[in-house]
Amino acid sequence: METHSLRDLVVEDPQRPLLDAIDSRQDCEVILPLLEVELQRSSARLQRLKEYRNSLASPMYCLQPEILSKIFFMCALDYNELFDLRWTRLLLVCKRWYDNAKDVQILWSFIDVTTSRPTGYHPTGAGGTDELDARDIRRVETQRSRAGLSPLTIQTYVHEPISEAKLPYTTMFWEPVRIYSLNITGGCSYVDDIVRSMATHRHPHLESLAILCQSRPMPGFVGIRDNLNIALRDHVPSLRHLSLSGLSFDFTLLHGLRSLCFADYGVEQVAYSLQDIITALGHCPQLEILNIVLSHNSQPDAALSSDTVPMTYLRTITVYSTLLICTNLLQALADVPSSARIFLATGHIDEVSSISMLMSYLGDHASRENALPIRAIAVSLLALPPQIFPEPGGDIPEAASRILLGVVAQRWPSRIGSGSRENYRRQFIDEGAESSYISILMEVLAPASHEFLTKILSFWHLSKATHLDLRSAAITSQHISILLANLPVVTAIIIRPDDPNAQILLASLRVYLREHGRRAIAHVVFDAQELNHHATLTTWGGVAIPSSEVLSRRSLMCMLAYCAEAARVGVPLDTVEIINEPHELRRRILGRAGEFGWSELYSDLQSGFVYEGVLHSGRQDLDGTIRDSFTVADV
């Protein structure tokens, strides 16, 4: 900033002709034009003063436009605001930001075309629908104009019926040469139209293609596979990321991909084999992400040649299929980095011995040189409904209960706490959980779940696993014994206080204490996140049902009683912790701070009681310090 320019601006006087006209008492016809000129000059002067003020107050104001543009884009990307244009609120901050952002072409190049109505929207007639469609069309055209020559990223979600106004935007409304990324979701007829267009138009710069077909292909659409094969073979030379769901294609046409996601829901006859998939992977030596979901009702031929394909760049492998497909596919991949994350789901398995080969592969993968250390184990045990149904008017036949068993090895324990119940299970079924390293999900008979759990853990190297997550597990005391026996250095257990598992865990810990004279764990973490979601039932079949808050407080009291018993025999627990307490006071485990004394909670604990990250302790050097039970240390 030039200080002399600022000084000249501050001391600047009104224009001399205006002052002379005022001093000589000229008529209003003379003064008014001069005054108008002065107002315009003063307004410009005030704007310049504001710019000087902003440059002094904020370093952001001094950034060059190119840097500011990159910051705008990164913010919009990080907060997922590119498609819905919520980033445009930046235009309202100041004139400089407005002038800069409106001309950043890449910010306008993420175009969403959705024909389905927003959830809960009920237009008051055709006028409301037409108005929304007209607004969407104006928005799309504005984005296409402002995006300039920037490569376009387009996502479409076509839900019938389609209005006449939007019909042109459900076809290939873009210029193929300008497309960088294309994400298509819709019914079979819509997908057929798009694929047919792509089979006749070259997309030379398309790097990412995702197509989700939401309906089963009808007999009249047998050409989808042929047209898709033509597009993949001839018209997308730059393709690096491919995701297809509900569609069939020739795997041998793939080459040079960095990510491949494929889901076959068994709606068509299988036209490929596992060997075709392996051959395709051989054409993609730099593949980083592999995600394959194959219907259990329609499986490809699992036979393979003896050759393997090197996959030295793989970062994530996800396979949902039969045990045979999962095992054969993994064994066909060579040179997979030890840091690669592997997520498997195998469907129903009868024999424990049948998983030995697959578990051995996972165990070897996790124990190789430079492999990621396993710091935590999370277990999921979910009862499944019976699959046997009675004849009309008949009795329900007896059937063995089934369990969905999942075990995931984590690089660090997952705090979760995002407010969604589904996130407790996400780490078992979704590679999006960053802490997850390897996982297996399978359906087994409930009486055999203990044997399967033992088998899985016996192959994994758990000498550094200090945390055990039971938030998604319907456990028994036998499960607890198996877990403690296979986790030699476990120090912390994470559990939900309102779950019956809490009482089962406490009973098992008490038995362990009395039989061995020592504590099994040093830290217990109660995750109260679910208290926000569980309904408070008062009766069920005429029987009183305690609320989740009551169950949680009961678990806490029983835990404190166990801590007192452990302290009496000289092996006190280090900490008990509560995390993710609901904001609503009546749903909390603990009431207002003045309604209880912290000493009641930490009196039998060696370090103290941790509540929402703060340690309350009888030791002055520890009391009030920040404590995170989810941190891990080298063992």
In three-state secondary structure terms, 439 is strand
Q: How confident is the model at residue 420 (pLDDT cuts 50, 70, 90)?
A: very low
DSSP state of 318: E
Residue showing tokens 């060696």 = 606
* CA dihedral of 441, 446, 447, 448, whole degrees rounded to 10: -10
Q: Tokens for 566?
A: 């452990």
pLDDT at 226 over 60: yes
What lies within 8 Å, CB to CB, of 211 at 6+ separation is 184, 185, 191, 194, 195, 243, 244, 245, 247
Instruction: Quote the CA–CA distance of 172 and 340 in Å, as a whole number.
Output: 38
Instruction: Quote the CA–CA distance of 91 and 96 in Å, as a whole number.
Output: 9
Q: What is the mean pLDDT of residues 128-135?
A: 77
Say which range, 247-256, 270-279, 417-426, 504-513, has the weakest mean pLDDT.
417-426
Residue showing tokens 């076959």 = 264
**For the chain, what are the domain ranges?**
3-61, 63-101, 342-385+400-471, 491-635
Q: What is the mean pLDDT of residues 299-321?
A: 88
Give pLDDT tens digits for 250-260: 999 999 999 99
Instruction: Quote the CA–CA distance of 207 and 520 in Å, as a whole number.
Output: 53
Nearest to 45 by CA among 10, 97, 17: 10
CB 527 within 8 A of CB 424: no
Give the per-residue pLDDT at 41. Answer: 84
CB 275 within 8 A of CB 309: no
CB 277 within 8 A of CB 283: no
Task: Count Cβ atoms below 10 Å from residue 220 Cβ, excluding itself.
Answer: 9
The pairing of beta strand 402-410 with beta strand 376-384: antiparallel
* CA dihedral of 5, 11, 16, 20, whole degrees rounded to 10: 170
**Torsional sign, CA 425, 428, 434, 435:** positive
Residue showing tokens 């969403």 = 112
DSSP state of 418: S
Instruction: Please tell me the pTM assigned to this model.
Output: 0.82
Instruction: Quote the CA–CA distance of 489 and 493 in Å, as a whole number.
Output: 12
Instruction: Quote the CA–CA distance of 526 and 497 in Å, as a whole number.
Output: 6
Say which range, 1-15, 442-456, 489-503, has the weakest mean pLDDT.
1-15
> Which DSSP string do the residues of 150-219 spell out, in sequence order?
SPEEEEEEE-SSPPTTTGGGGS--S-GGGEEEEEEEE-HHHHHHHHHHHTTS--TT--EEEEEE-SPPPG
Q: How confident is the model at residue 594 (pLDDT cuts 50, 70, 90)?
A: low
Q: Tokens for 377?
A: 């184990």
Orientation angle between helical segments 477-486 and 500-516, nearest 10 degrees: 60
**Torsional sign, CA 367, 371, 374, 377:** negative
CB 271 within 8 A of CB 249: no
Give pLDDT tens digits for 139-151: 999 999 999 999 9
H or E element that contains 562: helix 548-568
Q: How many CA atoms lie within 13 A of 394 on its CB side?
A: 8
Residue ranges of E strands in 313-427: 316-320, 333-334, 341-348, 376-384, 402-410
Burial 158-192 (b: 16+ CB within 10 A, else e): beeebbeebeebbebebebebbbbbbbbbbbebbb
In three-state secondary structure terms, 51 is helix
Give pLDDT tens digits for 241-294: 999 998 889 999 999 999 999 998 765 667 788 899 999 999 999 999 999 998
pLDDT at 535 over 50: no
Helix ranges (DSSP H) in 337-467:
356-367, 423-429, 449-459
Q: Tokens for 48?
A: 């310049």
Instruction: Quote the CA–CA distance of 410 and 408 in Å, as a whole number.
Output: 6
- ∠355-359-365 over CA atoms, to 5°? 155
DSSP state of 233: I
Q: Tokens for 565?
A: 């018993």
CB 490 within 8 A of CB 505: no
pLDDT at 634 over 70: no
Give the per-residue pLDDT at 57. Answer: 65
DSSP state of 298: S
- ∠178-179-181 over CA atoms, to 5°? 155
pLDDT at 121 over 50: no
Give the per-residue pLDDT at 393. Answer: 61
Give the per-residue pLDDT at 120. Answer: 47
In three-state secondary structure terms, 536 is coil
Question: How many residues make up the chain in this entry?
Answer: 635
Instruction: Kindly report the three-state secondary structure assignment for every residue of 575-611.
Output: EEEEECCCCCHHHCCCCCHHHCCHHHHHCCCCCEEEE
CB 295 within 8 A of CB 347: no
